[in-house]
Amino acid sequence: MVSGRTAATVAETEATLRKDGCGAAGVCGAAEEDDMAARLVDAALENFGRVDYLVNTVGGSPHIRPPLELDREGFLATMSHNIWPAVALIQEAMRRGLADGGGAVVNISSGTVHKTTPSMIAYKAAKTALNAMTETLARELGPLGVRVNGVAPGLTRTSATKDLWSYGEQEAQTQALHSFTTADDIAGAVLFLLSDDARQVTGTIIDVDGGNRLAGGGSSPFAPR
């Protein structure tokens, strides 16, 4: 199952997955919509009969402001955007059978939680809260047979970060592994956490950032220069 804000993006992703030999179905809409979680689970059950794995990838920082300029609306909107869709989808999936045969959840966090970039204060707060939620849900859902973990990417080469690719390539040379993180790197960590190889792993956040977090708090494309 995939979801996205535009029909064209969803259709393209479905086509790519089918070309790779996967069964695929998509739901178009924003994760914040009140009925989105139910629509996704409905479609999963209709197309595949059950829900075994759940990956929450929703996130973003639409209100990049210095701490003394950030308003209540922007702060709360950032918190809600990065947390509530994940909570809602986990709740819906649990109600509809995620735990019936055991299952696994992966929440996509961010390496921003390790930094102190002032203009990213709302985003850091949101992803830190997501990590806390991940750990708490791991304890709550573990006895039901469901593992809950997280993956925290650093700056990653994706279509959404295209304007930052040049910065990312330069920054990568200062990091431990000297390589710019790709979407496949994130996917590999997610697949591990969903798999039986991680059957004893829960409540854990894996950083996938090429060692970016080791550089300290000042390394960010949003930091003043």
Active site residues: 110, 123, 127
Describe the crossing of helices 72-95 and 36-48 by its angle, rounded to 10 degrees: 30
Using CA atoms, how far apart are residues 88 and 200, in angstroms rounded to an integer? Answer: 25
- Do 134 and 203 touch, CB atoms closer than 8 A? yes
Three-state DSSP state, 96 = coil
Using CA atoms, how far apart are residues 17 and 24, in angstroms rounded to an integer? Answer: 6
Using CA atoms, how far apart are residues 77 and 34, in angstroms rounded to an integer? Answer: 15
Using CA atoms, how far apart are residues 190 and 108, in angstroms rounded to an integer? Answer: 9
Cα of 115 vs its chain's centroid, Å: 18
DSSP label at residue 102: B
